[in-house]
Structure 1
Amino acid sequence: MKCRYLDELTGGKGVIFATGTPISNSMTELYTMQRYLQYGALEKSNLQHFDAWASTFGETVSAIELAPEGNGYRMKTRFAKFYNLPELMMMFREVADIQTADMLNLPVPEAEYRVIHVKPSQMQKEMVEELGNRAERVRNGMVDPASDNMLLITNDGRKLALDQRLANEMLPDEPGSKINVCVEEVYKFWEEGREKKLTQLLFCDLSTPKNDGTFSVYNDIRDKLVAKGIPPEEIAFIHHADTDAKKKELFSKVRRGAVRVLMGSTFKMGAGMNVQDLIVASHDLDVPWRPRDLQQRLGRTVRQGNTNKKVAIIRYVTEGTFDAFLYQVIENKQKFISQIMTSKSPARSMEDVDEAALSYAEIKALATGNVHIKEKMELDIQVSKLQLLKQSFLSQKYEMENNIAKDFPKDIKEQEQHITAYELDMAQIEGHTPSERSVFPTMQINGRTYQEKKEAGQALLDACKAMKSPEGVPLGAYRGLQMELSYDSFMMGFIVALKGKQTYHVTLGEDLYGNITRIDHEIDKIPDRLEQCREYLKTLQIQLETAKKEVKKEFPKEQELSEKVARLGELNALLDMDKKDKVLLDETAEIKEAEPKRKKTERER
């Protein structure tokens, strides 16, 4: 309402949004952005109501995906595809200036991504199996949602994937757990960067520092790093900087290397924190729900001002746990976000994953322990990449067919016309130019013929001063070409157009000899232009012949794609496909499923 009021006052120019993540979690966020910034355009197109907007630009897609408990598959229907994308983006770009990393080419360090996957302990395996049983009972309505639900199961599963002691402090500290592997990695980077005082960030959303003696991931990592020899004052928790003054002091210490290991959550360290100067590594201990959160974590390190040329982005996953499901959720969200936030022209419809989404899918595959599930995940990635390659191949093929039928013949004809025109102009110029170049060719200006360069130059300046309008007027002739004089209001200068079969423009100055020289230089460039056209014509003819050969070729990996698609079908049949959820339209469904049923029956509205 406020935005619409400001638009009324300012004619639609009173509201500016600036954000790096306009779409961070759900397809509905694009609709919300449009309601804020271009409600009038939505109203004009009868798209102001979400149902109308979604039916025009969104499509629900059903697909099998890993169940949250990590040990089976289910069918889910959700928004995972946009169509009518050119029209949607044309409308959105009326108010959105999208600048992506590939367009800006910012001076940021090169990121080297590394995924460290750890084996689950026997206790974790048994607890994941029990989570599967709990989920089955919830799905079949065998328990009261107030006592157990998918939200509780999901939270328990996320904690279990991080460290089994978050489920029960009495459980042993597993040597191969995420935390212990992370401690080794952090210490290695600390040791290697000791001379330059290089710094590191650790992100963990599922725990907080504690002072009551109970288990905390933060405390455990700090104590183990101190035991290895890192001074306690070089390790800090963002949670202790609870005022702006403390944050400013802490960030200053990180920037100069006094604090070399900074730990915190995405919420506290993800956005607005500028400590990138010496960061050499960033560690993701757990998986957030939104792609934006991973991007915000990444943006603290891969950022302008980082003095390191290369940085490490390390993500830790535990096989056979909720890590697989959570990376899948991020993958599904990244799919439709990438369809909008792109610098490339959109296709009519899109559903293929982009590179960022594929990297999430690869992490998901690493986190899956079941042999068939893991093979299916790997095939999903391979088939998606092959389909992406095929789509690109077909697009290039269609473009070549269009070039062969239209563009190449048109361009070849244009170049042939240019060549003929240049040749005729050169013949005309040669016939009106003395063989001895030291002799000034006669110049005709406003009906008078001038034999001397000085007189001709002065006559040019006089003609400029006599101009009454910027519109072009006939001036005379020189070296076989007609001359027309005009004034360019934008460039604020006089222009002489030399006209033969082609037209050549010369900007005049205030020097009477210099103007004649400029005109001669422009005429002397014609042979070079003729040669350029001949070379370009040869290139076009070669491209046409090459395109005719290339367009006959078939997709080189068609057989591989067919085989992988067939194998994928076999794996889908092998996997458990009996578990089906209700039709859900958004990733937030995982939360909605957990809402307890109301005790009283309410009327449907």
Structure 2
Amino acid sequence: MSKEYQEKHIQDQIDEIINYVEEYKHDRNQNFTVKQLEKTKKKLETRIEKLNDDFKKDDVITFEELGVDKLFIDEAHNYKNLYLYTKMRNVAGIGQSEAFKSSDMFMKCRYMDEMTGAKGIVFATGTPVSNSMTELYTMQRYLQYESLKKNHLERFDSWASTFGETQSAFELSPEGTGYRVKTRFSKFYNLPELMSMFKEVADIQTADILNLPTPEAHYEVIKTLPSEEQKEILKSLSERADDVRNRVVEPDEDNMLKITNDGKKLALDQRLINPLLPDNPDSKVNVCVKNVFAIWDKTKEDRSTQLLFSDMSTPKGDSSFNIYDDIRDKLVDLGIPKEEIAFIHEANSDKQKDELFAKVRKGDVRILLGSTQKMGAGTNVQNKLIALHDLDVPWRPADVEQSKAVRLKALQIGLSQKLLT
């Protein structure tokens, strides 16, 4: 976008916040601080200053000069992290993270609305709401901003008080050792009215409506028990969490995200916390290795293939411990030829990836390991596929649904023979 349009767009946002602050400052019934609103305002002012200082000197064509009159956005959920300002405090479930690409998309949507009368944008996504209720508000800001303004719902707090409510409930603590009361923005209110408004811009097609043929997959959840070392480490995670909550440590030293990530590592394999710890024979990784070998041995004649998914501990190309090399070494020790096992990370180009997929389809490579990101959409290896194994779970619920859809799509051939573990 041109510098002039960006300045205008950002200034409009600043004016909105100023009006919002003034409105609530004069309302004596409201008892809260406006620090967060002022902080957002300051951030936008800094962005204008940066725009003036750093705007590209090159004389390039701007978005306006391209003459675009229709904007099609696939995988629109990738733009969910759009800024919002709110007076709510200590309420979970309100995503306030901001990505530049989302702010840029919002700016382009506003421009397209001005040029086309709100008829120039098409979003496509399978997960418009994936992680928090604020994402539906974000989608409405992109697609029907004028409708929100018409109904005085352009501010998040107005939208939230009309269509949502907070709930306090006991939930498992991040470190997994106890329960706590947490207030979340987690329940829709006036849902018929909200959906009626959203359907003005949304054509919603669910799996029940489409009724497409899907393979019959057998799901098997395999449970493993923690080792004594894992139990001890889990206690230390609980102590770290208490220190974070009590502000004994600085956020850059330790925080809940680090603790949760260490918990995920611990659940996958205790050696990811400390490589010197013993290799527990009943660990998740070792149980998976046994299952993979059993299926490989049972399907030798058909040369059936298997996919293993792990988003953590991917190979780094150095001598550090990782799950991928550990699994391959153990499968080779059990008798599987090394050339029949491959990592998706070994394919560094589209050509190499296509060649690898061709080997899997023919059964030359019978076991393929990869992450959801690298081995998700576009993985065309279904011809001889018999089993898929998930070693860890993604961070977000939407990722679980998307990975499930990708896996089911991969099972389209030989619908009733597949096993998903």
TM-score by structure 2 length?
Answer: 0.71
Q: 2:408 aligns with which of 302, 308, 319?
A: 302
1:73 aligns with 2:179: yes
Residue 45 of structure 1 corresponds to 151
- 1:289-329 CA-to-partner distances (Å, cap 9, x unmatched) read 11121122222321173323143332xxxxxxxxxxxxxxx
Please say if residues 111 and 302 of structure 1, whose CA atoms lie closer than 8 Å, have aligned partners that are also in contact.
Answer: yes
Q: 2:315 aligns with which of 203, 209, 213?
A: 209
Query: Which secondary structure state, in structure 1, belongs to the residue aligned with residue 315 of structure 2?
Result: coil
Please say if residues 279 and 301 of structure 1, whose CA atoms lie closer than 8 Å, have aligned partners that are also in contact.
Answer: no
Shift of 1:78: 0.9
From the superposition, tell whether residues 292 and 258 of structure 1 become closer, same or farther in structure 2 (CA, over 3 Å). Answer: farther
Matches of 1:291 and 1:137 in 2, distance apart?
Answer: 28
1:165 aligns with 2:299: no
Matches of 2:247 and 2:363 in 1, distance apart?
Answer: 55
What amino acid maps onto 2:403 in structure 1? R
Residue 114 of structure 2 corresponds to 8
Higher mean displacement: 237-246 or 252-261: 252-261
Tell me the number of residue pairs that the alignment of Structure 1 and Structure 2 aligns.
314
What amino acid maps onto 1:77 in structure 2? T
Shift of 1:151: 2.2
Runs of at least 4 residues of structure 1 off by over 4 A? Answer: none
Shift of 1:102: 2.1
Please say if residues 24 and 292 of structure 1, whose CA atoms lie closer than 8 Å, have aligned partners that are also in contact.
Answer: yes
Matches of 1:122 and 1:21 in 2, distance apart?
Answer: 40
From the superposition, tell whether residues 311 and 96 of structure 1 become closer, same or farther in structure 2 (CA, over 3 Å). Answer: farther
Please say if residues 109 and 302 of structure 1, whose CA atoms lie closer than 8 Å, have aligned partners that are also in contact.
Answer: yes
- 1:476-534 CA-to-partner distances (Å, cap 9, x unmatched) read xxxxxxxxxxxxxxxxxxxxxxxxxxxxxxxxxxxxxxxxxxxxxxxxxxxxxxxxxxx
Matching of residues 224-263 of structure 1 within 5 Å: 224-263=330-369
Matches of 1:222 and 1:60 in 2, distance apart?
Answer: 48
1:112 aligns with 2:218: yes
What amino acid maps onto 2:164 in structure 1? G
What amino acid maps onto 2:385 in structure 1? I
Query: Which secondary structure state, in structure 1, belongs to the residue aligned with residue 122 of structure 2?
Result: coil
Query: Which secondary structure state, in structure 2, belongs to the residue aligned with residue 78 of structure 1?
Result: strand
Please say if residues 282 and 312 of structure 1, whose CA atoms lie closer than 8 Å, have aligned partners that are also in contact.
Answer: yes
Residue 10 of structure 2 corresponds to none
Please say if residues 270 and 293 of structure 1, whose CA atoms lie closer than 8 Å, have aligned partners that are also in contact.
Answer: no
Residue 261 of structure 2 corresponds to 155
Who wins on radius of gyration, i.e. which is larger?
A: 1
Matches of 2:184 and 2:271 in 1, distance apart?
Answer: 35
From the superposition, tell whether residues 177 and 123 of structure 1 become closer, same or farther in structure 2 (CA, over 3 Å). Answer: same
Shift of 1:7: 3.1
Q: 1:266 aligns with which of 362, 367, 372?
A: 372
Q: 1:83 aligns with which of 189, 192, 201?
A: 189
Query: Which secondary structure state, in structure 2, belongs to the residue aligned with residue 115 of structure 1?
Result: coil
Query: Which secondary structure state, in structure 1, belongs to the residue aligned with residue 374 of structure 2?
Result: helix
From the superposition, tell whether residues 3 and 111 of structure 1 become closer, same or farther in structure 2 (CA, over 3 Å). Answer: same
Shift of 1:67: 1.0
Shift of 1:145: 3.0
Query: Which secondary structure state, in structure 2, belongs to the residue aligned with residue 283 of structure 1?
Result: strand
From the superposition, tell whether residues 195 and 95 of structure 1 become closer, same or farther in structure 2 (CA, over 3 Å). Answer: farther
Query: Which secondary structure state, in structure 1, belongs to the residue aligned with residue 383 of structure 2?
Result: helix
Matches of 2:303 and 2:145 in 1, distance apart?
Answer: 52
Query: Which secondary structure state, in structure 1, belongs to the residue aligned with residue 418 of structure 2?
Result: strand
Residue 478 of structure 1 corresponds to none
Higher relative contact order (CA 8 A, sep 6+): 1
Query: Which secondary structure state, in structure 2, belongs to the residue aligned with residue 302 of structure 1?
Result: helix
Residue 25 of structure 1 corresponds to 131
- 1:47-66 CA-to-partner distances (Å, cap 9, x unmatched) read 12222112211111111011
What amino acid maps onto 1:129 in structure 2? K
What amino acid maps onto 1:309 in structure 2? S
Residue 312 of structure 1 corresponds to 419
Please say if residues 276 and 301 of structure 1, whose CA atoms lie closer than 8 Å, have aligned partners that are also in contact.
Answer: no
Residue 94 of structure 1 corresponds to 200
Unmatched runs of 5 consecutive residues or more in structure 2: 1-106
Higher mean displacement: 71-80 or 131-140: 131-140
Query: Which secondary structure state, in structure 2, belongs to the residue aligned with residue 226 of structure 1?
Result: helix
1:143 aligns with 2:260: no
From the superposition, tell whether residues 182 and 5 of structure 1 become closer, same or farther in structure 2 (CA, over 3 Å). Answer: same
What amino acid maps onto 1:195 in structure 2? E
Matching of residues 186-197 of structure 1 within 5 Å: 186-197=292-303
From the superposition, tell whether residues 10 and 310 of structure 1 become closer, same or farther in structure 2 (CA, over 3 Å). Answer: farther
Unmatched runs of 5 consecutive residues or more in structure 1: 315-605
What amino acid maps onto 2:310 in structure 1? C
From the superposition, tell whether residues 287 and 159 of structure 1 become closer, same or farther in structure 2 (CA, over 3 Å). Answer: same
- 1:186-238 CA-to-partner distances (Å, cap 9, x unmatched) read 11222233333322221111111143222110000111112222222222111
Query: Which secondary structure state, in structure 1, belongs to the residue aligned with residue 157 of structure 2?
Result: helix
Matches of 2:108 and 2:397 in 1, distance apart?
Answer: 29
Matches of 1:87 and 1:260 in 2, distance apart?
Answer: 52
Higher mean displacement: 124-133 or 304-313: 304-313
Matches of 1:123 and 1:90 in 2, distance apart?
Answer: 54
Higher mean displacement: 202-211 or 157-166: 202-211
What amino acid maps onto 1:279 in structure 2? L
What amino acid maps onto 2:418 in structure 1? V
Query: Which secondary structure state, in structure 1, belongs to the residue aligned with residue 373 of structure 2?
Result: helix
Residue 184 of structure 1 corresponds to 290
What amino acid maps onto 2:343 in structure 1? F
- 1:131-170 CA-to-partner distances (Å, cap 9, x unmatched) read 1112112222223333222222222111111101001111
Please say if residues 255 and 275 of structure 1, whose CA atoms lie closer than 8 Å, have aligned partners that are also in contact.
Answer: yes
Query: Which secondary structure state, in structure 2, belongs to the residue aligned with residue 155 of structure 1?
Result: helix
Query: Which secondary structure state, in structure 2, belongs to the residue aligned with residue 128 of structure 1?
Result: helix
- 1:428-478 CA-to-partner distances (Å, cap 9, x unmatched) read xxxxxxxxxxxxxxxxxxxxxxxxxxxxxxxxxxxxxxxxxxxxxxxxxxx
Matches of 2:341 and 2:402 in 1, distance apart?
Answer: 22
Matches of 1:47 and 1:148 in 2, distance apart?
Answer: 38
Matches of 2:135 and 2:383 in 1, distance apart?
Answer: 33
Query: Which secondary structure state, in structure 1, belongs to the residue aligned with residue 398 of structure 2?
Result: helix
1:61 aligns with 2:167: yes
- 1:29-80 CA-to-partner distances (Å, cap 9, x unmatched) read 1111111111122121111222211221111111101111111111111122
Alpha-carbon RMSD across the aligned residues, in angstroms, is 1.8
- 1:552-603 CA-to-partner distances (Å, cap 9, x unmatched) read xxxxxxxxxxxxxxxxxxxxxxxxxxxxxxxxxxxxxxxxxxxxxxxxxxxx
From the superposition, tell whether residues 36 and 256 of structure 1 become closer, same or farther in structure 2 (CA, over 3 Å). Answer: farther
From the superposition, tell whether residues 89 and 197 of structure 1 become closer, same or farther in structure 2 (CA, over 3 Å). Answer: farther
Matches of 2:189 and 2:364 in 1, distance apart?
Answer: 52
Matches of 2:158 and 2:377 in 1, distance apart?
Answer: 34
TM-score by structure 1 length?
Answer: 0.50
From the superposition, tell whether residues 2 and 233 of structure 1 become closer, same or farther in structure 2 (CA, over 3 Å). Answer: same
